[in-house]
Amino acid sequence: MAITSANQLELLQTAEAVAREKMIEPELVIEAMEDSLARAAKSRYGSEMDIRVRIDRKTGNATFTRARTVVTEDEVENYQAQFTTEQARPYFEPSRDGRAIWLREGQRVEDFSGRPQLGDVFEEQVPPVDLGRIAAQSAKQVILQRVREAERDRQYEEFRDRAGTIINGVVKREEYGNIIVDVGRGEAILRRNEKIGRESYRPNDRIRAYVKDVRHETRGPQIFLSRTDPQFMAELFKMEVPEIYDGIIEIKAVARDPGSRAKIAVISYDNSIDPVGACVGMRGSRVQAVVQELQGEKIDIIPWSADAATFIVNALQPAEVSKVVLDEDAGRIDVVVPEDQLSLAIGRRGQNVRLASQLTGWDIKIMTEAEESERRQKEFRARTQIFMEALDVDEVLAQLLASEGFSNLEELAYVEPHELSSIDGIDEETGAELQRRALDVIEAANREADAKRRELGVLDEVGEVPGVTPQMLVAFGENEVKTLEDLAGCSGDDLLGYDDSKKGERFHVKGILEGTGISKEDAEAIVMNARIMMGWVEAPEEIPEAGGEDEAEAVEEA
């Protein structure tokens, strides 16, 4: 294919047609044409030459030039495309026939009174090439590739800001259970695990979905849709409830069992507006519109509360709760319900308590009043036995200490003496003796633990980390954490344990310090302190110290 004048006149028309079809800028198509013609010309003149092509944006005339750049003598690698200042000097003059030009920083050189400078480019025209069949096919492929890249960039720029919103589309086809959706200027994918239940679609069906993610990958922008994401339901409510859209009502949390049941927590910033009533709507019109879109998914709308206990009681609706016991350090909550409310609180296959746990962010354990009473009695007996054996006291005095809330020897040993002597049945002398015995037991246990950690090879530097106790050092040694670097390389999950799954089966990985009563915050503080001592991170103004007091708050008759 020769670049004739007729072909040149068609270049702009072709560029405009392709740009209009692909909805991209014509300039991008023309640049792709210039690149493809330049590559084809290199196969004619030699790949070592720097051949450039410019297409006039008005006439479509294609100009082929050979470029050579001025570089230092040491930088010359390609004599066909580079030359030194001395070699360029004979060419440094105005072209008499206009077929050669000099460029400096992209601008045409007009002043030739000096000498060539490093980086100057000398371009001289070469005859247009006669493209053979192979060269023409190669040029076509380059143009198509560049056009596809431009189309992908345009699609990504258009859809990247729509992540986190709801989009409407038309089903094009199904591939291995995944739905390909036409969303206007691009295609999106709804994976089979992102569909609600067993819903199915046919080509040309209308579909509404949540844009979960937009990625710029090698094969083009990938738009991932979801109908199971909790935020899909939140966005649907935003569309149906004007108060949410206006910011008067806020959705604080969402938990879903897609296609079956969901819970949504809302709060109103206007005292005159009931957040639950606004989301339900007149005769349930608003919530029913969302339910229909979610294939009949039942939705519990719950008032959000800053008080964790109140929020958890609301989240477990419709079950009635007798008592809530919060353990903030362990991130766990025990909920006591009447016997006849147990099945309702747990829900079918544990659905109600599972959704409530997801909604509140707490690990919720449901128990009946009888089970809670039995547990408390068991804990009371265990604490009583500890005091009897460690302090060598009778059962009455041990029960008295346990009933006053002492759960271990550390609490007894380090409590203020006046608090101990203020207990009926314990005078100052008895209180001092109890604390002395508790300290003796603790010190003996610490000496034993210190000797054992030395046998295990745990270095002294590990014990210098704030929050680390002698008993922890033994646990570290038994789990091959023997140096400060070993401890700094751990994570909070390594210390406390975590849940994992493999082949669909969930299992628990036990932590190094699991069962010691240490909180998540204390575990993370120990690791952070070790990293600071190693110099891996800079110390903040206030270094968090592990070993805070255990806090448990009981809310009666929540």
pLDDT in tens, 341-391: 888 888 888 888 899 888 888 888 888 888 888 888 888 888 888 888 888
pLDDT in tens, 124-152: 888 877 655 555 566 667 667 777 777 77
Cα dihedral 531, 536, 541, 546 in deg (nearest 10): -10
Confidence of residue 420 (pLDDT cuts 50, 70, 90): confident
Confidence of residue 5 (pLDDT cuts 50, 70, 90): very low
pLDDT recorded at residue 549: 43
pLDDT recorded at residue 288: 92
pLDDT in tens, 425-445: 788 888 888 888 888 888 888
Question: Is pLDDT above 60 for 316?
Answer: yes
Secondary structure percentages of the chain, helix, strand, coil, to 5: 45, 25, 30
For range 174-179, the mean pLDDT = 85
How many CA atoms does the CB half-sphere of 445 hold within 13 Å? 14
Question: Is pLDDT above 80 for 456?
Answer: yes
User: 526 vs 173, 487, 495, 513, CA distance in Å?
Assistant: 54, 9, 10, 11
Helical H segments across 319-368, by residue range = 342-346, 351-360
CA–CA gap between residue 330 and residue 233 (Å, rounded): 31
The architecture (CATH level 2) of 163-226 comes to Beta Barrel (2.40)
Confidence of residue 237 (pLDDT cuts 50, 70, 90): very high
For range 99-124, the mean pLDDT = 84
Question: Is pLDDT above 80 for 508?
Answer: no
pLDDT recorded at residue 557: 40
For range 67-90, the mean pLDDT = 86
Residue percentage of the chain with pLDDT more than 70: 88
pTM above 0.85, yes or no: no
* Domain over 5-143 is classified CATH 3.30.450.20: no
Contact status, residue 116 vs residue 89, Cβ threshold 8 Å:
yes
CA–CA gap between residue 182 and residue 271 (Å, rounded): 44
Residues with Cβ within 8 Å of 36's Cβ and at least 6 positions away in sequence, in order, are: 138, 139, 140, 141, 142, 143, 146
Question: Is pLDDT above 70 for 504?
Answer: no
Contact status, residue 197 vs residue 261, Cβ threshold 8 Å:
no
pLDDT recorded at residue 426: 83
CA–CA gap between residue 34 and residue 43 (Å, rounded): 15
pLDDT recorded at residue 287: 92
Q: What residue spans define the domains of the chain?
A: 5-143, 163-226, 457-552
- Nearest 5°: the CA angle 222, 225, 227 is 170
Confidence of residue 213 (pLDDT cuts 50, 70, 90): confident
- Quick check: do 5-143 and 163-226 share a fold? no
CA–CA gap between residue 121 and residue 72 (Å, rounded): 13
Task: Tell me the pLDDT of the chain averaged across its residues.
Answer: 81
pLDDT recorded at residue 82: 87
Question: Is pLDDT above 70 for 284?
Answer: yes
How would DSSP label each residue in 238-297? HHH-HHHHTTSEEEEEEEEETTTEEEEEEEESSTTS-HHHHHH-GGGHHHHHHHHHTTT-
Length of the chain: 558
